[in-house]
């Protein structure tokens, strides 16, 4: 199995300004240096990295920089994170215009995963039928990913329609998409990641690891998430192929230092769980 790191820590998450007035251009990006993130992630010892759809789009027509960094560092692109509202029919095709291109870029740079977030909550709240519409959109994501040889996974997320265990249960009865639990988001949404993994064992293909306590996302080992229990629950699942650490912000501690700290925790958990390192 491989250990990856999300580049979000090098700049935080933002969106393209044009996306405010043009749905198809609402890419997710981090303002940090992609090159610095990739080099730091390799230097501290990870096997791969995950990146936002908007960052990777920069290299679609000029792939040499990204290909060069990957070759020099030996890192694999693990996944591309994309997102959409999914519930507004008038803009759905423009959203899928963007998702299709995110999937194309994942295929171009040989990433195995397309990670989909989203499911907007209206100002008036979730309406009857919204979960059905979201489910159809996610199944469409899974199908377009499969046509490109990718595994699509859905990432339940705070601020989206799928925060709580009840939300996830409702969605999974309507959609067949595979899942990418985020250990911190699960806890923040009122769930137990160990229980979630057992409940959806056959659908979990990929995992985001981060810690959490008192409303704050934290590097691994600094919060209250039962990380050892998560690793034990993942034993023998398809998700044992790749685990990716993620931390939204580094503050004044520096992204490389926090990525290294989380990696040490994850390596220890992998060793204790007797899970193999990736073959070289």
Q: Give the number of domains in the chain.
A: 1
Q: Rounded distance, CA 203 to CA 180, Å?
A: 9
In a domain, 277, yes or no: no
Q: Rounded distance, CA 142 to CA 253, Å?
A: 37
In a domain, 240, yes or no: yes
- How far is the CA of 220 from the CAs of 103, 184, 265, in angstroms? 29, 10, 6
Helix (H, G, I), strand (E, B) or coil at 35: helix
Q: What pTM, to 2 d.p., does this model score? A: 0.95
In a domain, 19, yes or no: yes
Whether residue 250 contacts residue 258, with contact meaning beta carbons closer than 8 Å, is answered with: yes
Pair of tokens at residue 197:
């993994």
In a domain, 243, yes or no: yes
In a domain, 112, yes or no: yes
**What does the pLDDT profile of the chain (280 residues) look like in tens digits?**
899 999 999 998 998 888 988 999 999 999 999 999 999 999 999 999 999 999 999 999 999 999 999 999 999 999 999 999 999 999 999 999 999 999 999 999 999 999 999 999 999 999 999 999 999 999 999 999 999 999 999 999 999 999 999 999 999 999 999 999 999 999 999 999 999 999 999 999 999 999 999 999 999 999 999 999 999 999 988 887 899 999 998 888 999 999 999 999 999 998 876 555 554 4
In a domain, 181, yes or no: yes
In a domain, 279, yes or no: no
Whether residue 38 contacts residue 50, with contact meaning beta carbons closer than 8 Å, is answered with: no
In a domain, 50, yes or no: yes
The CATH code of the domain that includes 219 is 3.20.20.150
- For 158, other C-beta atoms within 10 Å of its C-beta total 13
Instruction: Give the range of the structural domain holding residue 238, as residue numbers without chain letter.
Output: 2-272
Q: Rounded distance, CA 217 to CA 280, Å?
A: 32
């Amino acid at each position: 199995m491989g250990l990856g790191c999300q580049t979000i820590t090098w700049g935080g998450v933002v969106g393209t300004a044009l996306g405010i007035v043009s749905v198809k251009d609402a890419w997710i990006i981090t303002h940090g240096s992609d090159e610095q993130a990739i080099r730091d992630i390799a230097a501290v010892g990870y096997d791969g990295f995950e990146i936002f759809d908007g960052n990777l789009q920069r290299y679609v027509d000029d792939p040499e920089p990204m290909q060069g960094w990957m070759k020099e560092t030996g890192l694999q692109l693990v996944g591309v994170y994309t997102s959409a509202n999914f519930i507004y029919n008038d803009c759905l095709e423009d959203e899928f215009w963007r998702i299709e291109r995110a999937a194309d870029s994942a295929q171009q740079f040989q990433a195995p995963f397309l990670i989909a977030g989203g499911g907007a909550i209206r100002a008036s709240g979730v309406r009857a039928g919204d979960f059905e519409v979201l489910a159809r959109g996610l199944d469409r994501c899974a199908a377009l990913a499969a046509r490109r040889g990718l595994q699509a996974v859905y990432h339940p997320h705070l601020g989206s329609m799928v925060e709580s265990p009840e939300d996830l249960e409702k969605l999974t009865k309507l959609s067949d998409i595979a899942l990418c639990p985020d250990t911190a988001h699960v806890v923040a949404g009122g769930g137990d990641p160990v229980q979630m993994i057992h409940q959806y064992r056959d659908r979990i293909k990929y995992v985001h690891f981060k810690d959490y306590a008192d409303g704050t996302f934290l590097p691994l080992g600094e919060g209250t998430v039962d990380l050892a229990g998560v690793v034990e629950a993942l034993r023998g699942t398809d998700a044992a192929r790749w685990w990716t650490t993620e931390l939204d912000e580094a503050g004044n501690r520096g992204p490389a230092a926090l990525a290294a700290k989380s990696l040490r925790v994850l390596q220890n958990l992998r060793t204790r769980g007797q899970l193999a390192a990736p073959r070289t």
